[in-house]
Amino acid sequence: MKHFPKIWMNGRYVKFEDAKIHVLTHSLHYGNAIFEGMRCYNTEKGPAVFRLREHLSRLFNSAKSYCMKIPYSKEELRKATLDLMRVNNVKECYIRPILFYGHGHLGIEPAGLKVNVAIIPIFWGRYFGEKIEKGVRAKISSWCRINPLIVPTQAKCAGNYANSLLAKMEALDAGYDEAILQNISGYIAEGPGENIFIVRQGKLITPPVHAGILVGITRDSIMRIARDMGIETIIRDIPREELYIADEAFFTGTAAEMTPIIEVDDRVIGDGRRGPITHKLQSKFFDVLRGKDEKYYEWLEFIR
Ligand code: PMP
């Protein structure tokens, strides 16, 4: 795996090869690591981390749900992230901050264990390769999305991804590109690592927080860009069948960016190609990420 030379770990820059943890790490056993996923893009004004503050706020909120005390302030982690980009001479990358309990005892409650913090830059190109333009084929999963009665679904907690990866593996094994999970009420929730939108009669529709989604920062960005372009977003429950008859559909997420969905359960969406509203929003979104629209500069944290 191609990698950047340095990882930030507990306040120090550690060589990639040396960024190791003990096999008794509590969070490895009980899935209680808290993480984020963000991206640094090379813009016309140099590299910039997209919506760093919002990602760090979500990291702190995720930790709060689990009563995990982060031994750094948001500002310290913001500076550490930007410095890490400089130290590694990054132009573009995916960034994975992660908080996890160390080792000491194997009781389920993490009392007394150290909270470790790492920030890892990762080479990660297009999540769906060239399908970012062509679109992906998705399948409704036989797995339901985790429910807020069971775990905090708004927290980016490692354990939640057991649900995601089962859905993803099932979809890939069945020959699809991605899964779509319904919640236990039978409404559409999201993909394993993406939020979902459909387009009907010129309007965007996306599931609400109570559907059990992770409240995506890309979801928020797309809704704001859409509003600025005069495209309304309706936040409401979406039944499965509505995906089939949508004019267009797409996923949003930091890894997947904005990816058209051209098929769901072997039903062709629209004319089976990236739809016009998806295309328009996607072009604008990529312009914003690349710093081509000053209106959205507040979302870019330039690293130098
Ligand atoms: N849902 C899940 C389950 C995710 O893991 C992600 C990726 N963080 C998203 C949605 C999209 O969130 P964001 O746009 O903030 O990356």
**Structural domain includes residue 244:** yes
Token pair for 199: 């387009």
* 61 and 177 belong to one structural domain: no
Which ligand 1 atom minimizes the distance to the CA of 38? Answer: 16
Place of tokens 């499965």: 240
Q: Does residue 210 carry a pLDDT above 90?
A: yes
Question: Are 135 and 197 members of one domain?
Answer: yes
Q: Based on the domain organization, do 143 and 276 belong to the same domain? A: yes
- Kindly report, residue by residue over 44-82, the tens digit of the pLDDT: 899 999 999 999 999 999 999 999 999 999 999 999 999
Residues 100 and 229 reside in one and the same domain: no
Judge contact between 269 and 261, C-beta under 8 A.
yes
| Ligand 1 pocket test, candidate residues 36, 218, 250, most atoms within 8 A of CB | 218
CA distances from 269 to 59, 245, 250, 262 (A): 35, 7, 10, 5
Of the residues 71, 89, 122, which one is the last residue of a structural domain? 122
pLDDT digits (tens, 9 = 90+) for 211-270: 999 999 999 999 999 999 999 999 999 999 999 999 999 999 999 999 999 999 999 999
Model confidence over 160-173: pLDDT tens digits?
999 999 999 999 99
Domain boundary pick from 58, 92, 122: 122
**H/E segment holding residue 63:** helix 52-65
Whether residues 85 and 58 share a domain: the answer is yes
Q: Is residue 1 part of a domain?
A: no
Q: Name the domain boundary from 122, 155, 170.
A: 122
Let me know whether 277 and 161 are in one domain: yes
Locate the ligand 1 atom nearest the alpha carbon of residue 221 and give its number.
14
In a mutational test of the pocket of ligand 1, which residue from 195, 222, 225 has the highest number of ligand atoms less than 8 Å from its CB? 195
252 lines ligand 1 (CB under 6 A): yes
Same domain, 137 and 285: yes
Q: For 24-49, what is each residue's pLDDT tens digit?
A: 999 999 999 999 999 999 998 999 99
Q: Which residue has the tokens 């094994």?
A: 173
Q: Ligand 1 centroid vs 274 CA: distance in angstroms?
A: 21
Residue 1 pLDDT: 75
Express as a percent the part of the chain with pLDDT over 70: 100
Q: How many domains does the chain have?
A: 2
Residues 186-205: what's their mean pLDDT? 98
Which single residue is written with the structure tokens 């979500």? 58
What is the pLDDT, as a whole number, of residue 211?
Answer: 98
Residue range(s) defining the domain that contains residue 276: 131-289
Q: From the CB of 253, is ligand 1 less than 6 Å away?
A: yes
| Per-residue pLDDT at 304 | 74
Question: According to the model, what pLDDT value does residue 3 have?
Answer: 95
Instruction: Report the pLDDT averaged over residues 122-126.
Output: 95
Judgement on whether residues 44 and 147 belong to the same structural domain of the protein: no
Question: Could you tell me if the CB of 193 is within 6 A of ligand 1?
Answer: yes
The answer on 117 and 160 residing in a single domain is no
**What residues act catalytically?**
156
Give the chain's mean pLDDT.
Answer: 97
